[in-house]
A and B are shown apart, each in its own frame.
Chain A
Amino acid sequence: MIQNLPWLFLLLPLLAAVIDWVVFRKCSKCAAALSILSVAATFALCVAYLCGLQTGTPGIYTWMPVAAAQLSLHMGLVLDPLAMRMMLVVTGIGLLVHIFSIGYMKGDPSNLSRYFAGLSIFMFSMTCIVLADNLAMTFIGWEMVGFSSYLLIGHWFDKASAADAAKKAFITNRVGDFGFLIGILLTLGVFGSLNFADMGAKAAGIAPAILTATVLFLFCGAVGKSAQFPLHVWLPDAMEGPTPVSALIHAATMVAAGVYMLVRLQVAMGEAAFTGTACNVIATVGAITAVLAALMAVQQDDIKRVLAYSTLSQLGYMVMAVGLLAGEAAMFHLYTHAWFKALLFLGAGAIIICCHHEQDIWKMGGLAKRMPLTVLCFLMGTCALIAVPGFSGFFSKEAILDAALEQNPVFFWVGAGVAALTTFYMARLCLVAFCGSARAHGAEHAKEACPTMLLPLLVLAVMAIISGYGFAADSLVPFEGFHAHGFALGLPFYAGMGALALGLLLAFALYGCGKRSKDPLSGNAVSDALRNRFYIDALYDKVIIGGLQEIVAHIIEFIDAAVIRGLLMQGSAWLTARIGLLLSYIQGGSLRAYAFVCGFGLLILIFLLAFNL
């Protein structure tokens, strides 16, 4: 009995979601309370496990038994440090985001029960990914997070842009998931099992080409979910959802699921399974994403979009680290990034709310004076993100740069460049939004955020500072046997410091102390390209939607018109109508005709019976 306790991780949020949706439809307060309670309970359970609670191996539930046993789908939980510490990040940030949501969504006219039910179902799905002991279960959670992300991005579905963004996120993820599914089936065929535990032993005997294909197909899933180039287009649009959702799903946890899954596979299959080609592809994709996203972030005006591109860029970092076979560094960065990016998003949310739903940084300004605590927390997050020594991001970024230098110097320099860009755009954001004087009505009347919002910010700010230090990281980073190295004065450190200094210098030079009311970089071709995301979205619109989809639509239209409508519908209708017309002469509606026919039949009957012909 007790060994099945971990199933509560899945059960509690699911129950909360169902009850929120079915019972507490009208009572948003009850729904919020229940959701928070379920997250708090899972968080407490998680802490208990990390503090050494032992309940034995949880039972495995055979979901779909198949005669060939290895094809049966099982539901099992894996409780190793990788999973449990990841759970801590997920439930911890989840709890804070839930609390923050109360303040953020106060007075929102939409149905908050639906919102909290969505959050709970997200917690359930994310738990499903994190604790899955096989790829099939991962895939189920994978699709479920996609679904809950769709629900939450489209929470304000009466806003056309939110509905479109939800659809875009869902469909773009489908593309990646298709590859992921192929990868899972390949895994089943190659390894003979979907269980992570069985993979390591079999990886050695498999041809490298097949392994490469398998890993790359599985990587497709991560490309979609972690928004890597070329499927990165959905993440910036996903910012149409409520800001706490962006913090939880599109910054800290769900988008990190791709990285988590890759690291999980790397651990399960062994690093040898990640062949050179596969690693190069993964690292290159990560690096491209990191660079492109950082460049795009430089010219964004929407505070949430800046953070979204920064998330993309950091995810690129992590994926690059995975590709460099530095799963440890990837998870370390995932873990610190989760805390400080959640902090940044929640801080942005608080700022947006306090500026009366203003998201354009050029319409803010001077916020440091009006809401000092919030801004301070935001600055903590910024420091962590731009890797100021002493903050958590510094340690994890150093770890990645270390690994890159060790494996491939090209990636190291890419990383350092991205770090400079990161510093530049974050400094730009802070200078424009917080310094100088207010440039719009909303910012003039901004006040300090309410306690339910401030509390999570403070907690996250503390985590953003301390989570990188050895005492916290050693026991919390989701990686088996993780050990913080501390930093050494070497090339990575100097490169990082150089990037930091360069970025800050450029930002101060260009934006001063928030005196400008217009971006001095805007108005040229490069800036336009950056603002328009290198026209990648437009290209997709033209080629995929305008070209490919049109061709397919024409084919389908032809089938629809000729075969289905012409032959099946109209043809059958025509045939039926003709037959009906013929038969309608029988059904003339005249009583006497019926009686006549009846009498005639009687005659025939008697004739046959009595005259024995």
Chain B
Amino acid sequence: MFESALCQIIFYVFAALALLCAVGVVAFRNPVTSAMNMALCFGLVSAILFGLGAQFLGIIQIIIYAGAILVLFVFVIMMLDIKAEEHSPASWLPAVGGTVVAAVFAGMVMSVSMNLPGAKDGSCPAKTLWDNIGELSLAPQPQQAEAPAKVTRFGGALPALSPAAAAKALNPDIAPEQAANATTYPDVKLVGHTLFTQYNIPFVILGFALLSGSVGAMALARKYRKD
């Protein structure tokens, strides 16, 4: 219970801080400050991912976003020696317009999220997310004949992670008592397992995308000689 409470506090604090940093990214005029705020924001987001039990993605978030991408940003800012954005009197219109659009968007997302079935009272609706979306969308979806197996809880606690089930999933031949003995949850192993079995070919294709991306980046950023 205590652990759960701590988790809650950590989530809300980190979420608030992450949003604050995100506002900082938008609000600060100096791009370097924006970049630093963004690094902080990504760190906090990765903490939230940790809280969700996705350790691997949390680490990736730090390594890729906070590490590689942010460094690239800062590098480019330094290289191009970009100064702080000058305040121009004519810029209030896009600023206000953009804020209004974003605010309306936020309001919509919040109202949708809050009004999802069971989101307020913590009860557990016996419907899948897809059914809900089908209900919400413009076109009526055909009713599914079979009762949905998976249940999405928009309210209430998220389902707990089970190390025993994870051990069983990784090694189907494992003895039940041995599985029951497992104490840690092998998130990285499971992500790797999924990635290299079910999503092997997409993963390879992603590798090619990255390769062509880096080659393209070199080609684009190359300085062409005048001749």
Q: Which A positions have Cβ atoms within 8 angstroms of B?
A: 592, 596, 599-600, 602-603, 606-612
Find chain A residues with CB under 8 A from B102 CB.
599
Inter-chain contact A596/B112, CB cutoff 8 Å: no
Per-residue CB proximity of B70-102 to A under 8 Å, as 1/0?
A: 000000000000000000000000100110011
Inter-chain contact B108/A606, CB cutoff 8 Å: yes
Find chain A residues with CB under 8 A from B94 CB.
592, 596
Inter-chain contact A608/B138, CB cutoff 8 Å: yes
| Residue among B97, B101, B104, B136 making CB contact with A610, cutoff 8 Å | B136
Find chain B residues with CB under 8 A from A602 CB.
105
Any A CB within 8 A of the CB of B198 = no
- Residue among A592, A610, A611 with most chain B CB within 10 A: A610
| Residue among B98, B104, B136, B137 making CB contact with A603, cutoff 8 Å | B104
30 examples of A-B residue contacts, CB within 8 angstroms: A592-B94, A592-B98, A596-B94, A596-B97, A596-B98, A596-B101, A599-B98, A599-B101, A599-B102, A599-B105, A600-B101, A602-B105, A603-B101, A603-B104, A603-B105, A603-B108, A606-B105, A606-B108, A607-B108, A608-B138, A609-B136, A609-B137, A609-B138, A610-B108, A610-B112, A610-B136, A611-B108, A612-B136, A612-B137, A612-B138
Please, how many angstroms separate the alpha-carbon atoms of A596 and B104 in the complex? 13
Q: How far is the CB of B86 from chain A (nearest CB, A)?
A: 16
Find chain A residues with CB under 8 A from B112 CB.
610
Q: What 8 A-B pairs have minimum CB-CB distances, sorted nearest first?
A: A599-B101, A610-B112, A592-B94, A606-B108, A609-B137, A603-B104, A610-B136, A596-B97
Q: How far is the CB of B17 from chain A (nearest CB, A)?
A: 26
Please, how many angstroms separate the alpha-carbon atoms of A612 and B104 in the complex? 17
Chain B residues bordering chain A, tally (CB within 8 A): 12
- Residues of chain B in range 102-117 having any CB-CB distance to chain A below 8 Å: 102, 104-105, 108, 112
Q: How far is the CB of B91 from chain A (nearest CB, A)?
A: 10
Q: How far is the CB of B99 from chain A (nearest CB, A)?
A: 11
Given pairs A599-B102, A606-B108, A610-B108, 20 additional interface contacts (CB within 8 A): A592-B94, A592-B98, A596-B97, A596-B98, A599-B98, A599-B101, A599-B105, A600-B101, A603-B101, A603-B104, A603-B105, A603-B108, A607-B108, A608-B138, A609-B136, A609-B138, A610-B136, A611-B108, A612-B136, A612-B138
Find chain B residues with CB under 8 A from A611 CB.
108
Beta-carbon nearest neighbor of A598 in chain B: B101
Q: How far is the CB of A429 from chain B (nearest CB, A)?
A: 73
Please, how many angstroms separate the alpha-carbon atoms of A611 and B133 in the complex? 11
Q: Is the interface of B mostly helix, strand, loop or mixed?
A: helix
Please, how many angstroms separate the alpha-carbon atoms of A289 and B104 in the complex? 97
Please, how many angstroms separate the alpha-carbon atoms of A124 and B112 in the complex? 88
Please, how many angstroms separate the alpha-carbon atoms of A79 and B215 in the complex? 77
Q: Which B positions have Cβ atoms within 8 angstroms of A?
A: 94, 97-98, 101-102, 104-105, 108, 112, 136-138
Q: How far is the CB of A605 from chain B (nearest CB, A)?
A: 10
Q: Is the interface of A mostly helix, strand, loop or mixed?
A: helix
Q: How far is the CB of B187 from chain A (nearest CB, A)?
A: 32
Q: How far is the CB of A600 from chain B (nearest CB, A)?
A: 6
Find chain A residues with CB under 8 A from B98 CB.
592, 596, 599
Find chain B residues with CB under 8 A from A610 CB.
108, 112, 136
Find chain B residues with CB under 8 A from A596 CB.
94, 97-98, 101
Please, how many angstroms separate the alpha-carbon atoms of A599 and B94 in the complex? 12
Q: How far is the CB of A609 from chain B (nearest CB, A)?
A: 6
Please, how many angstroms separate the alpha-carbon atoms of A606 and B105 in the complex? 9
Please, how many angstroms separate the alpha-carbon atoms of A606 and B133 in the complex? 12
Q: How far is the CB of B184 from chain A (nearest CB, A)?
A: 40
Q: How far is the CB of B141 from chain A (nearest CB, A)?
A: 12
Please, how many angstroms separate the alpha-carbon atoms of A275 and B98 in the complex? 96
Find chain A residues with CB under 8 A from B101 CB.
596, 599-600, 603
Please, how many angstroms separate the alpha-carbon atoms of A603 and B106 in the complex? 10
Q: How far is the CB of B175 from chain A (nearest CB, A)?
A: 49
Please, how many angstroms separate the alpha-carbon atoms of A310 and B97 in the complex? 94
Q: How far is the CB of B108 from chain A (nearest CB, A)?
A: 5
Find chain B residues with CB under 8 A from A603 CB.
101, 104-105, 108
Please, how many angstroms separate the alpha-carbon atoms of A596 and B102 in the complex? 10
Q: How far is the CB of B136 from chain A (nearest CB, A)?
A: 6
Q: How far is the CB of B78 from chain A (nearest CB, A)?
A: 24
Please, how many angstroms separate the alpha-carbon atoms of A609 and B97 in the complex? 23
Find chain B residues with CB under 8 A from A609 CB.
136-138
Please, how many angstroms separate the alpha-carbon atoms of A610 and B134 in the complex? 10
Find chain B residues with CB under 8 A from A606 CB.
105, 108
Q: How far is the CB of A597 from chain B (nearest CB, A)?
A: 10
Beta-carbon nearest neighbor of A610 in chain B: B112
Please, how many angstroms separate the alpha-carbon atoms of A592 and B138 in the complex? 30
Find chain B residues with CB under 8 A from A608 CB.
138
Find chain A residues with CB under 8 A from B108 CB.
603, 606-607, 610-611
Find chain A residues with CB under 8 A from B137 CB.
609, 612
Find chain B residues with CB under 8 A from A599 CB.
98, 101-102, 105
Q: How far is the CB of B139 from chain A (nearest CB, A)?
A: 10
Please, how many angstroms separate the alpha-carbon atoms of A596 and B105 in the complex? 12
Please, how many angstroms separate the alpha-carbon atoms of A352 and B76 in the complex? 85
Please, how many angstroms separate the alpha-carbon atoms of A302 and B104 in the complex? 97
Find chain B residues with CB under 8 A from A600 CB.
101
Find chain B residues with CB under 8 A from A612 CB.
136-138
Q: How far is the CB of A539 from chain B (nearest CB, A)?
A: 69
Beta-carbon nearest neighbor of A607 in chain B: B108
Beta-carbon nearest neighbor of B108 in chain A: A606
Q: How far is the CB of B102 from chain A (nearest CB, A)?
A: 8
Q: How far is the CB of B95 from chain A (nearest CB, A)?
A: 10
Q: How far is the CB of B110 from chain A (nearest CB, A)?
A: 11
